[in-house]
Structure 1
Amino acid sequence: MNEPKTLADRIEDLLPQTQCTKCGYDGCRPYAEAVAAGTANYNQCPPGGAEGVERLATLLGKPVIPINPVNGVERARPVAFIDEQVCIGCTLCMQACPVDAIVGGPKQMHTIVKDLCTGCDLCVPPCPVDCIAMIPVTGDATGWDAWTQQQADDARLRHDRRQARLAAERDAAEARAAARRAAAAAAPASGAQEAQRAQPDAATAPAAAAPQPAPADDAEAKKKAIIQAALERARQKKAELSARGEGPRNTEQVSADVQAQIDAAEARRKRLGIAASPDGKTGDASDDTNGNSSDQPSGGDKPA
């Protein structure tokens, strides 16, 4: 027997499931929980538009109010487009896509699966070569007129599956890291026991040789080399664009919510070790705190 739905469940059912974070929360579910708890208003979802506000107002027994302009405006639904001639295969857009709508791999051209894209804009800020544009595809149709319940249900399912996969990857990475730490801690103790058995007379035995550091992890070195090469190609491409008098795209009239996404992307890149230096260049990269490396795609179940 199914358990009765909570208020948060019913609110989530009425959201478009674009997972765009324009509401100020990490996704549709956290926003639904905040509305149910009374810590967020029911007019903070631009993709749902005026009809979305009306749906929530009816459920909550409250008056219909305009969308909060701080969160954005109702608009025609866009779809991301990647300029494949400029893409460097850094995978950052794939890591940002909440519904696995981007296909590609490290150092390989990426492309958008148009029918899966929710138009969330989250892939635009992390792109180091500004090769992603958001193109409206629904004409004058906006909000729920530009989106269907079936599309919302499909996007929700892809988002939930992605979240489950990322959680499993984090757990596996943490388990590997714990195993490495345990092995490193056990190695000196085992060496000391062997030395004791071989030379029981500590007073006359020569000093034990200091343990040698473990050899560098070739896999980690390879990851860093791949990322560094991709970043170097990005710098060269930016220089070429600058020489032709072409500036970065997607940077004009940046709204507050997009700027917040950019700030979040920069914070994530700093955690990955891809921090911008004062001269505008990008530094080395390393594993993030979850054990995920920035050269590993986290979007899409299709092969690279």
Structure 2
Amino acid sequence: MTTLLIVISLLALIFGVILGIASLKLKVEADPVVEKIDAILPQSQCGQCGYPGCKPYAEAICNGDSITKCIPGGQPTVVKIAEILGVDVPTMEGVEDPIEMVAIIDENMCIGCTKCIQACPVDAIIGTNKAMHTVIPDLCTGCELCVAPCPTDCISMIPVKKDLNSWDWKFDAKLVIPVMNVNGSEKKWVVGE
């Protein structure tokens, strides 16, 4: 019995060493451009681009597909991807300036079926079975995947109202602002980046 345990342990050690060496020799490096593009995409895995998720879409972009297919990311995502690839920034297909949308659930019509929760790729909908559901607007990407499965049509997409937190300030990062101290004569420079 002891001999059998020693033999099995020795075989496990030998196979472990072989697998360790093979993992080092056969290691496949990921494309860093794909990883950068995937990090920029919203990770909603909504499929509106025609791919099953953000990573396959990032791979398709590196293989020459259009960079304007990410609806939840919008034009800001297209600009960032164009910077990584070093290409001119195209406009979104069919929409000049896409309107940022968020899902809203009519709480009086919600029956608590949980179909919208199952459809939401970013877990922006909270609720439980046979209880009212609601959307967390800060997490909602506006992918509209929750609208179709709803049997009572209580989910609607509304445009996001701009406020101080959601406004696109378009701040120039290289801006230099001179500031004068009113109590003294020293000058201070506020520099971006």
1:53 aligns with 2:84: no
- Structure 2 residue matching 1:46: 3-state secondary structure: coil
Q: Offset of 1:144 from its aligned partner?
A: 9.6
Measure, in 2, the Cα distance between the counterparts of 1:114 and 1:78: 10
Query: 1:49/1:56 Cα in 2 relative to 1: closer, same or farther (>3 Å)?
Result: same
1:13 counterpart residue number: 39
Q: Offset of 1:5 from its aligned partner?
A: 5.8
- Structure 1 residue matching 2:83: 3-state secondary structure: helix
1:30 aligns with 2:30: no
1:41 counterpart residue number: 66
1:68 counterpart residue number: 93
Q: Where in structure 2 are there 5+ consecutive unaligned residues? A: 1-28, 170-193
1:117 counterpart residue number: 140
Q: Which amino acid aligns with 1:60?
A: L
Query: 1:121/1:144 Cα in 2 relative to 1: closer, same or farther (>3 Å)?
Result: farther
Quote the RMSD (CA, aligned, Å): 2.8
Query: 1:144/1:96 Cα in 2 relative to 1: closer, same or farther (>3 Å)?
Result: farther
Q: Deviations over 1:6-44 (max 9, x none)?
A: 221111122233443221222322211211233x21121
- Structure 2 residue matching 1:47: 3-state secondary structure: coil
**Counterpart contact for 1:12–1:29, Cα < 8 Å:** yes
Measure, in 2, the Cα distance between the counterparts of 1:62 and 1:98: 30
**Counterpart contact for 2:43–2:54, Cα < 8 Å:** yes
Query: 1:64/1:116 Cα in 2 relative to 1: closer, same or farther (>3 Å)?
Result: closer
Q: Deviations over 1:34-82 (max 9, x none)?
A: 11233x211212333333222222211222222222xx66433222111
Q: Which amino acid aligns with 1:14?
A: I
Identical counterparts, % of pairs: 52
Q: Deviations over 1:87-120 (max 9, x none)?
A: 1111110111001111122222111122222222
Is the strand fraction higher in 1 or 2? 2
Measure, in 1, the Cα distance between the counterparts of 2:59 and 2:167: 21
With normalisation by structure 2, the TM-score equals 0.62
Q: Which amino acid aligns with 1:50?
A: Q
**Counterpart contact for 2:147–2:155, Cα < 8 Å:** yes
**Counterpart contact for 2:41–2:77, Cα < 8 Å:** yes
Query: 1:133/1:99 Cα in 2 relative to 1: closer, same or farther (>3 Å)?
Result: same
- Structure 2 residue matching 1:116: 3-state secondary structure: coil
- Structure 1 residue matching 2:72: 3-state secondary structure: helix
Count of equivalent residues: 140
2:122 counterpart residue number: 99
- Structure 2 residue matching 1:81: 3-state secondary structure: strand
2:113 counterpart residue number: 90
Query: 1:33/1:4 Cα in 2 relative to 1: closer, same or farther (>3 Å)?
Result: closer
Query: 1:62/1:12 Cα in 2 relative to 1: closer, same or farther (>3 Å)?
Result: same
Q: Which amino acid aligns with 1:20?
A: C
Is the helix fraction higher in 1 or 2? 1
